[in-house]
Amino acid sequence: MTMKRITFILLIIIYSNITFGQSGRIIDNKVTMFSLEESNDTIDFIIVDTLLNKRKPIFLWCQGSLPLPLFFEIENYGNYFSGGGISNFDYQEIVENYHLIVISMPKIPVVGKKENLNNQYLHVPNLEKPNEFSLEYIKADYLENYVNRANTVLNYLKDKKWIDTTKLVVSGHSQGTKVATKIAGANKSVTHLGLFGANPFGRIDQMIRTARFNAQIGKISWEAADSSINRYYQLYKNAYNVDSLKVNPGLIAWKSFSETFYDDWLNLDIPIYLAYGTEDRVSDLCDLVPLFFIEQGKDNLTLKRYIGLEHNFFEVNGEGKVNHKKKHWEDVMSAFISWIK
């Protein structure tokens, strides 16, 4: 064999090691999309990079609720990248040191076509019914499904040569905090947990607290609050009724996402970062969480309270109105990134 031939073979081997056998579809020159075929599901996920040639740990972002595509078409603009919420912050700051991964919502396309997007850019089958989501999505929208899908993705990636397995960061916002929590509990490879806008007591309790608060400040009458609270009691009762679940599969989400989560946090020994805005009704009860950790003698919780910000970390003025021009997601996420380091 000639020296030229040996050199050519070595170059092929070196190049193969650099690219690590990357496969996937490049979207909008921003991300690489992968699809994992399951028996009854296709799990689409993106890595926010177009060239997977650097060994980095995973940073898994668990998006909030509702069928929001990771990209969506906008008239006279093209594809807009939402990334399941990561467009709210400087995600490039994460990409520098991590493979940033977002999993598409179940039964929802990665790229939402304008003929299937309502005025909130949520995917719907029929624009004449803009508030009705697909039955397939509704049936798949429950906590255990999100956790199983995420662990399938993590198991698929763990053996890739471009994945550094010494660190695994899992974080999420709102509903995503519940998914991230359960992933951390089920996957022993998770090293850091980030929670933003979390409700330690689940979901349905925040509806009851909101009704009480609105009555206390005079926004509604106590009679109206009483009626509203009783309706939520009945809703939750229906969520635990087998016959009701058959008629209304949307109740599955209410059941699975309404359990308490602070006890799951207490069972973890990894570092936990809990950030929330003081004007966020969802996260009111986060103020109690440090008490539980103190009782258990645990010191792995870092709590960050953002004064005057709401659920999505926008400022709220003295009249209680959200100022969407004053956003702080970038500051919130940058502080988390610094904390991880």
**177 plus 209 within the same structural domain:** no
- Longest alpha-carbon distance in the chain: 91
Crossing angle, helix 204-216 and helix 222-239, to 10 degrees? 170
Cα 151 versus chain centre, distance: 14
Same domain, 193 and 99: yes
Query: Tell me, what's the pLDDT at 103?
Result: 98
3-state secondary structure of 159: coil
In order of 12, 74, 131, 302, the CA distances from 275 in angstroms are 47, 32, 30, 8
Mean pLDDT of the 93-116 span = 96
Q: What is the CA radius of gyration of the chain?
A: 22
pLDDT of residue 39: 87
Our count of domains for the chain comes to 2
Residue 99 lies in a domain: yes
Q: How far is CA 48 from CA 73, 195, 257, in A?
A: 19, 21, 28
Whether residue 249 has pLDDT greater than 70:
yes
CATH of residue 189's domain is 3.40.50
In a domain, 96, yes or no: yes
The domain boundary residue, chosen from 235, 258, 281? 258
d(CA 148, CA 186): 9
Confidence of residue 74 (pLDDT cuts 50, 70, 90): confident
Residues 232 and 117 occupy one common structural domain: no
**Residue at 76 is within a domain:** yes
Secondary structure percentages of the chain, helix, strand, coil, to 5: 40, 25, 35
**% of the chain surpassing 90 pLDDT:** 88
Beta carbons of 144 and 256 less than 8 angstroms apart: yes
Q: What is the pLDDT of residues 114-151, one digit of tens each?
A: 999 999 999 999 999 999 999 999 999 999 999 999 99
Question: Of 34, 65, 63, whose CA–CA distance to 48 is shortest?
Answer: 34
User: Do 69 and 207 reside in the same domain of the chain?
Assistant: no
Residues 217 and 188 reside in one and the same domain: no
Query: Is pLDDT of 10 > 90?
Result: no
Residues 117 and 147 in one domain: yes
Q: Which of 258, 280, 295 is the last residue of a domain?
A: 258
Same domain, 243 and 181: no
Dump pLDDT digits (tens) for 192-248: 999 999 999 999 999 999 999 999 999 999 999 999 999 999 999 999 999 999 999
Q: Does residue 16 carry a pLDDT above 50?
A: no
- Is the pLDDT at 1 greater than 50, yes or no? no
d(CA 141, CA 149): 12
Closest CA to 194 of 204, 183, 203, 205: 183
Q: Which of 168, 170, 189 is nearest to 181 (CA)?
A: 170
CA–CA distance, 239 with 244 (Å, rounded to integer): 7
Average pLDDT on 263-271 reads: 98
For residues 253 and 143, state if they share a domain. no
| Region 73-89 average pLDDT | 87
Q: Is residue 263 part of a domain?
A: no
User: Band of the pLDDT at 320, cuts 50, 70, 90?
Assistant: confident
Asked if 27 and 146 sit in the same domain, the reply is yes
Report the run of H or E that residue 230 belongs to, with start and end: helix 222-239
Considering the domain architecture, whether residues 47 and 192 belong to the same structural domain is answered as yes
Query: What does the alpha-carbon distance between residue 6 and residue 231 come to, in Å, rounded to a whole number?
Result: 76
pLDDT of 24 strictly over 90: no
Q: How is 75-86 classified by DSSP, letter by letter? A: TTTEEEE-GGGG
Of the candidates 258, 279, 304, which is a domain's last residue? 258
Q: Is residue 228, in this structure, part of any structural domain at all?
A: yes
pLDDT of residue 78: 73
Q: Is residue 234 part of a domain?
A: yes
Q: What is the pLDDT of residue 261?
A: 96
Q: How would residue 19 be classed by pLDDT, with cut points 50, 70 and 90? A: very low
Residue type, 326: K
Same-domain check for residues 172 and 236:
no
- The overall average pLDDT reported for the chain is 92
User: Is there a domain that residue 159 lies in?
Assistant: yes
What local confidence, expressed as pLDDT, does residue 11 receive?
34
Q: Looking at residues 309-335, what average pLDDT do you find?
A: 95
**What value does the mean pLDDT take over residues 78-95?**
93
Q: How far is 247 from 228, CA to CA, in rounded Å? A: 22
Residue 226: which domain range?
A: 203-258
Question: Does any domain span residue 313?
Answer: no
Are 112 and 222 part of one and the same domain?
A: no
